[in-house]
Structure 1
Amino acid sequence: MPEAPSYLAIMGAHVLADDGCRLWTAVAGDGPPLLLCHGGPGLWDYFDGVAELLGGFVRSIRWDQRGCGRSERRGPYTVDRFVGDVDAVRRHFGAERVNLLGHSWGAMLALRYALAHPSRVGSLIYVSGTGVDPDLTWRDAFHRNLTHGIGADAARWRELDERERTPEEDREHAILQWQADFVDPVTARGHAERLGTPWLGINYTCARAINAESRRFLRDHDVPALCRALTTPTLIVDGAHDIRPRWAVDSLERSLPDVKRVTLAGAGHIPWAEDPAGFREVVAKFVTQVAS
């Protein structure tokens, strides 16, 4: 049997944060380090497909945020603490500077890390984020698009959403919701099922705390002004059919002094799942150019 490519040789390990919290990590591939921040908050790493796509170009460093997935189930659940955890993972793997890729909530976490530690970030890749609008004006459109995207399953989703759920029902609720994040209704359920397999349980305490703090940060700080001082090369990647309206990210794009933006026409909120070739091309080209 031929030897598997090196980018498929994934090592799993735990990293200790500076307060002793055990964070699950996995490393794969060869090239400049790319630290991946998953979305949620309250979810777990789902970047196995990204690690495979980019394995020939980068050394991907994946991790489960504290309290989530395979990491230790403990707080505190604060953005500053999560930023510190990103730094602990970076240090553990010996990277003086890393490229950061964040998706959805993870895009905001990656941005917050870059704002706190710009000298430690070689580049920032901001995927399917929701921008820096303090009034969250995108949310009404998101909720309308979500209901439309769930389609015929909307009644069941609402019924589950309005009551306490068993772990099995919690997974069903998430899968029904995640279907709306994909463009083609024929393949959406399969994509959503893969995101939820294995099912590691959503940490709703973490989600509520981090979301509330993130909203306060946007209200209490002039985030566009902070971004104008960030000289880190940044790539914004959107799926054209994301149910979170893409105009939400416009003010962030205008604020960053060194930014490129690419919209993948056939993709939704998880662009690497629906346009893997396009996602691989734009990310690999950007990281390669920054590293050269």
Structure 2
Amino acid sequence: MTVTTDDGVRLWASASGRGEPLVLCHGGPGLWDMFEDVAAVLGDLATVVRWDQRGCGRSERCAGPWTTDRFVADLDAVRRHFAPERTALLGHSWGAQLALAYTLAHPERVSLLVYVAGTGIGPTSEWRPAYQENLLARLGEDSERLARWRELPAGDQEGAVLQWSAEFEDRERAPEHAERMADPWLGINTECNAELTAENRRGLDTPELYAACRALDVPVLIVDGERDIRPRSAVDSLERALPKADRVILPGAGHLPWVEDPDGFRAALAAVLG
């Protein structure tokens, strides 16, 4: 299925399940939808809408622009197509930041925000050094793997799979989980990744952002994997700012908590959907 944005870019989208709509926002930036398991787990609780962000995955290749405002407008085009009035949103990692930005811009169009494995609204310096240390420690479990990862260029499939393997607490199954993320391999949009990552960092830790979150009259569920290599304390700033936030931390799960604790993830969503 195709959704066309207001500037004519064609976005890949798909809907499955039954019930009220739940639009998913994948991580990255520059990646593609990897939510097959989420759609399967939640399909009896909601009509799950998946889409690839502009210039990524199965969506039309384009020259951007790579800005949060542009992606918020694209998300609104997807929302209008599947939910003319309001929708629940679920964002993961970078997609959690996007879903939050959309909710702050259009609170009347969002019934519920599910913020999964994001990094909060405080400065990046509060969590990124620990993340980098944890990433290198995970990859360094095998010195040859770490050396190979360091020599591969940005956007390389092998390098991405090696890095993604660090995202899982179950070290025995981590390579299998990472390989599944790359199947099919749709290519990383490295320009999109670099520009949106830089813009997102500049927009954090501002008085305006804290004030907007404090004024948000939309229920928010924050879902974390306890063993995410990004310190979960990064999300504390967002939780404190939001007036209508609940938080679920899934023990033994990493950055993709629905993979390592599907039952806990489903239970957390079942409590708020519908």
TM-score normalised by the shorter chain: which range applies?
A: over 0.9
- Confirm or deny: 8 A CA contact 2:21 2:83 kept in the other structure: no
Alignment of 1:246-265 (within 5 A): 246-265=232-251
Instruction: Measure, in 2, the Cα distance between the counterparts of 1:52 and 1:219.
Output: 36
Gap runs ≥5 in structure 1: 1-12
Picking from 89, 92, 112, the partner of 1:123 is 112
Picking from 255, 265, 272, the partner of 1:279 is 265
Alignment of 1:202-281 (within 5 A): 202-219=188-205, 222-281=208-267
How far off is 1:160 after superposition?
Answer: 4.1
- Confirm or deny: 8 A CA contact 1:40 1:104 kept in the other structure: yes
Q: How many residue pairs are counted as aligned between the two chains?
A: 273
Overall identity of the aligned pairs, in %: 57
| 1:49 equivalent in alignment to 2:7 | no
- Taking a change above 3 Å as real, the CA distance of residues 17 and 143 of structure 1, as seen in their structure-2 partners, is same
Picking from 60, 67, 72, the partner of 2:48 is 60
Say which SS state the counterpart of residue 83 (structure 1) adopts.
helix
Normalization by structure 1: what TM-score?
A: 0.90
- Taking a change above 3 Å as real, the CA distance of residues 154 and 87 of structure 1, as seen in their structure-2 partners, is farther
Give CA-to-partner distance per residue, 1:4-53, whole Å, 9 cap, x none.
Answer: xxxxxxxxx11101100010001000011000000000000000100000
| Deviating 4+ runs (over 2 angstroms) | 151-165, 219-222
Normalization by structure 2: what TM-score?
A: 0.96
Alignment of 1:25-40 (within 5 A): 25-40=13-28
Instruction: Measure, in 1, the Cα distance between the counterparts of 2:233 and 2:141.
Output: 28
| 1:24 equivalent in alignment to 2:15 | no
| 1:172 equivalent in alignment to 2:158 | yes
Say which SS state the counterpart of residue 246 (structure 2) adopts.
strand
How far off is 1:151 after superposition?
Answer: 3.2
Picking from 179, 183, 198, the partner of 2:184 is 198
How far off is 1:157 after superposition?
Answer: 4.0
What is the CA RMSD across the aligned residues, in angstroms?
1.4
- Confirm or deny: 8 A CA contact 1:97 1:120 kept in the other structure: yes
How far off is 1:156 after superposition?
Answer: 3.7
Alignment of 1:5-16 (within 5 A): 13-16=1-4
